[in-house]
Amino acid sequence: MTKSDPGGSAREPENRDPKDKQLDGFRVDRNSGYLTTQQGVRVDHDDDSLTAGTRGPTLLEDFHAREKITHFDHERIPERVVHARGAGAYGFFEPYDDSLAQVTAARFLTTPGLRTPVFVRFSTVAGSRGSADTVRDVRGFATKFYTDQGNYDLVGNNFPVFFIQDGIKFPDFVHAVKPEPDNEIPQAQSAHDTFWDFVSLQPETLHTVMWLMSDRALPRSYRMMQGFGVHTFRFVDAHGIGTFVKFHWTPKLGTHSLVWDECQKIAGKDPDFNRRDLWDAIEAGQYPEWELGVQLVAESDEFAFDFDLLDATKIIPEEQVPVQPVGRMVLDRNPDNFFAETEQVAFHTANLVPGIDFTNDPLLQARNFSYLDTQLIRLGGPNFSQLPVNRPVTEVHTHQHDGYSQPTIQRGKASYHKNSLGSGCPALADEEVFTHYAKHVDGHVVRARSDSFTDHYSQPRLFWRSMSDVEAEHIVAAFGFELGKVTDVDIRERVVAQLDLVDHRLASRVAAQLGLDIPPESPVVDIAPPSPALSQLNTAMDSILSRRVAVLAADGVDVTGVERLVEALSERGAIVEVLAPKGGGVLTGGSGGEIAVDRAITTMASVLYDAVVVPCGPDSIATLRDDGYALHFLAEAYKHAKPIAAFGAGLDLLPAAGLHCPVAEGPDILAHAGVVTSTAAEASLSDEFFDVFADIMARHRAWERDVDAVVA
Ligand code: HDD
């Protein structure tokens, strides 16, 4: 066996960080050497077991076969009880400046130019390891910072709030959302009785349920979603002074979503849609980037809000406490091995470094127990921190020893503190140590929720009233879908009654979807101003980087037009693929030339693309208008409000697909409801056509389009 070159790494040698270099010590190249047993004995035959005669029984002494099968039998480890399905990547974090030095001693946040290696794992929550990516769910966003003061884990989600306030409810909540225990149905879905039963009886869930019913639960890409630490944490400065902090990750590409119909179809067409997207983007060098922001609250302002900072079902509206940008994170390297790295990575909310500490948030307190506990069963014992992906880049010296699969050989006799036989080592440090924040604690032992946690309706209302019309419409449709799958009518009614306490119009619209009586209007006590930061439509919409564009074509296509399109959109970072009735080979151009086919239309689907183009070419269009897959492709993209461009004879495919939208009647460009058209083709098509299309693509969807009657 030989060690590989810095394997799987997209980084140039000079850009390799300490974590990447550390992993070299564990990387083993599969593509070299001779086949051996685990004991290093060479093997010359791997197809047949050792038998008594060619047709006789297999012998127990076949240690090679037994070892091979035994190892195989033990390949699986328990999947994570939640967040089982995920995708991970390495990268780095760097602070912009030292502005946080006033509030935290954490060096990785305050040293300008210091690049801290990170590993990030994104995940869905409810589904098992083999479930589809594009389900309606929260997404995990867990970051391990390998800092030069030890590992810090920020184990967050893509929603800023959580379903419950106290960790003791976590097993109840998870049991309710997971498949029902009698028949293990449904997989990776909240649309079933037990989940909504729980929601209807536990109104603290409502705020997060609003997020779950919104487009936030359907991210277009892990690269296009926000992340949040959720809890209020505590920064601690060099003098031991605390400041409350909430963490926000903001994607450079903006926050964008799929539509629900699309999600359900992608779950069949490409269940790995989000995982593949992350992998492909990193392989292509289109490294995803997020900005880290913080909301800071002085300890003296702990009670300045009309909610409790310790309540994880609440946000601090950004309009009240602005998010301060402090640094950026870039993911630039895929793991070498999914199991070794993405599966075995072990996050823990209690992995802290000097300068960051907890608050009394009862959800966080429970998590601080749960994450260590869960790794013990999942990773088989107490030595999981020594797995390559989990090792800090700092030196580790403890008196902990033994345990299952101890990989290190600790030398010396003294595995206790204090000792004289080991020269007193490892020694206690007196600088750069973690010092727990000296918080004052005083109170009676009670099992009770604080009164300051009891308002479950104001913030779901704030969220609902901050939505644009189209986002609100999606929320109503999502409630209609989910509750429509609930078989117990009492549960449906109870949820609608709870929604009425959030907002009467919301409850009425959901009731109408379900054919329930409109509930009586509940008195609303507070009407807070909306928070524009909550609407995804206010997100960044200036880039088409890594958007996927399908060009529908057949023999006779306008090769010049397609080449110009590919060049114009690729320059802006989009990925353009030519799809034809048959995959492989080339298409011949109507006016000469040829162009390679990237995919067959039948192996793909419009839901796997962000935009569609129908180029000119009378013969090409004549073929496509008889091709039901091509027509469905176009109609479906239209239905999902995706940008569409057609030029020259390409315009004729729109009505053939049942789309009777306004189109250009001459070479002048017409852009109407996300459809860009011109009768010009080949070299006479103006460059502006591509610019207009790219601008529309940057807006992601044309929500103004009327799609109700479109059959797709
Ligand atoms: Fe959790 C995994 C995020 C509440 C118990 N959680 C897990 C992961 C993420 C979160 C992103 C996946 C980590 C990975 O990729 O390996 N969890 C959250 C957030 C929460 C939250 C943002 C609320 C603010 N979690 C929560 C509570 C408990 C847990 C209240 C238990 C009391 N979570 C777990 C766990 C998991 C986990 C059972 C499963 C696998 C693992 O930890 O490593 O311990």
Nearest atom of ligand 1 to the alpha carbon of 168: 32
What's the 350 CA to ligand 1 centre distance in angstroms? 12
The pLDDT value recorded for residue 345 is 98
Nearest residue (by CA) to ligand 1, atom 37, is 82
Task: Tell how far the Cα of 352 is from the centroid of ligand 1, in angstroms.
Answer: 16
Give the position, in ligand 1's atom list, of the atom nearest the Cα of 370.
44
Spot the catalytic one: 83, 256, 348, 456. 83
DSSP 219: B
Which one of 345, 371, 385 would you pick to mutate in the ligand 1 pocket, going by the greatest count of ligand atoms within 8 A of its CB? 371
Q: Is 0.90 exceeded by the ipTM?
A: yes
Position 10 pLDDT exceeds 90: no
Query: What 3 state SS string does 496-519 have?
Result: HHHHHHHCHHHHHHHHHHHCCCCC
Residue with CA nearest ligand 1 atom 21: 367
DSSP 92: E
Best probe residue, ligand 1, of 82, 207, 222, 359 (max atoms within 8 Å of C-beta): 82
Task: Tell me which of 77, 79, 81, 83 to substitute to probe ligand 1's pocket, judged by most ligand atoms within 8 Å of the beta carbon.
Answer: 83
DSSP 149-198: TEEEEEEEESSSS-S-SSGGGHHHHHHHHSPBTTTTBSTT---SHHHHHH
Integer Cα distance of 168 and 683 in angstroms: 67
In this prediction, residues 118-137 reach a mean pLDDT of 98
Q: Is the pLDDT of residue 434 over 80?
A: yes
Nearest alpha carbon, ligand 1 atom 15: 121
Dist CA 229 CA 326 (whole Å): 15
Q: Which atom of ligand 1 is nearest to the CA of 157?
A: 22
Q: Is 114 exposed, middle or buried (0-12, 13-18, 19+ CB in 10 A)?
A: middle
Q: Has residue 1 got a pLDDT over 70?
A: no
- Residue 2 is predicted with a pLDDT of 34
Q: Which atom of ligand 1 is nearest to the CA of 374?
A: 44
Residue ID of nearest Cα to ligand 1 atom 42: 371
- Long-range (24+ apart) CB contacts under 8 A made by 562-571 are 562/595, 562/615, 563/595, 564/683, 564/685, 564/690, 565/613, 565/615, 565/645, 565/690, 568/687, 568/690, 568/691, 568/694, 569/544, 569/690, 569/693, 569/694
Residue 527 reports pLDDT greater than 90: no
CA of 200 to the centre of ligand 1 (A): 23
Q: Identify the CA nearest to 370 among candidates 346, 335, 354.
A: 346
Q: How far away, in angstroms, is 332 Cα from ligand 1 center?
A: 25
Ligand 1 centroid to Cα of residue 136, in Å, is: 18
The residues, ordered by sequence, that sit 6+ positions from 415 with a Cβ below 8 Å of its Cβ are 399, 401
How many whole angstroms separate alpha carbon 698 and alpha carbon 537?
12
Distance 279 CA to ligand 1 centre (A): 23
Give residue-wise pLDDT tens across range 173-189.
999 999 999 999 999 99
Quote the ligand 1 centre to 154 CA distance (angstroms): 11
For residue 78, how far is its CA from the centre of ligand 1 (angstroms)?
A: 15
Q: What is the pLDDT of residue 5?
A: 43
- In sequence order, the β-bridge partners of residue 329 are 93, 290
pLDDT at 16 exceeding the cut of 80: yes
- Report the pocket of ligand 1 as residue ranges, CB < 6 Å: 80-83, 86, 121, 123, 140, 142, 155-157, 162, 167, 170, 230-231, 312, 345, 347, 363, 366-367, 370-371, 374
Instruction: Give 139 Cα–ligand 1 centroid separation in angstroms.
Output: 11
Q: What is the pLDDT of residue 631?
A: 98
Q: 64, 151, 157, 348: which one is catalytic?
A: 157
Q: 501 falls in which pLDDT band (50, 70, 90)?
A: very high
Position in ligand 1 atom list of the atom nearest CA 231: 24
pLDDT tens-digit map of 585-617: 999 999 999 999 999 999 999 999 999 999 999
Per-residue pLDDT at 8 exceeds 80: no
Cα 676 from Cα 288, distance rounded (Å) = 29
- Whose Cα sits closest to atom 44 in ligand 1? 371
**How many Cβ atoms from other residues are within 10 Å of residue 709's Cβ?**
8
The Å distance, Cα 206 to ligand 1 centre, comes to 19
Q: What percent of the chain has pLDDT over 70?
A: 98
For the segment 360-367, the average pLDDT, to the nearest whole number, is 98
Residue range 9-14: average pLDDT? Answer: 64
11 — pLDDT class (breaks 50, 70, 90): low
Q: Whose CA is nearest to atom 31 of ligand 1?
A: 367
HSE-up of residue 376 (Cα within 13 Å, Cβ side): 7
**Neighbour count for residue 444 (Cβ, 10 Å):** 5
Per residue in 286-332, pLDDT (tens digit) is 999 999 999 999 999 999 999 999 999 999 999 999 999 999 999 99
For residue 317, CA distances in Å to 307, 516, 524, 526, 537 come to 11, 34, 20, 15, 17
pLDDT digits 0-9 by tens, 448-485: 999 999 999 999 999 999 999 999 999 999 999 999 99
Q: Of 694, 698, 668, nearest to 566 (Cα)?
A: 694
Q: Which domains does the chain have, with CATH numbers?
A: 86-164+217-386 (2.40.180.10), 465-538 (1.20.1370.20), 548-698 (3.40.50.880)
Specify burial of residue 612 (Cβ count, 10 A radius: 0-12, 13-18, 19+).
buried
From the CA of 156, give the closest atom in ligand 1.
22
Closest among 163, 161, 158 to 196, alpha carbons compared = 163
Question: What is the pLDDT, as a whole number, of residue 7?
Answer: 42
Among this protein's residues, is 419 annotated catalytic?
Answer: no
Q: Among 129, 153, 155, which is best to mutate for testing ligand 1, by the most ligand atoms less than 8 A from CB?
A: 155
Whose CA is closest to atom 12 on ligand 1?
A: 83
Q: Which ligand 1 atom is at minimum distance from the Cα of 312?
A: 24
How many Å apart are CA 9 and CA 419, to the nearest integer? Answer: 43
Answer yes or no: 157 catalytic: yes
Nearest CA, atom 22, ligand 1: 156
Pocket test for ligand 1, best of 367, 374, 375, 384 (most atoms within 8 A of CB): 367
What is the distance in A from the centroid of ligand 1 to the CA of 43?
44
Residue 60 identity: L
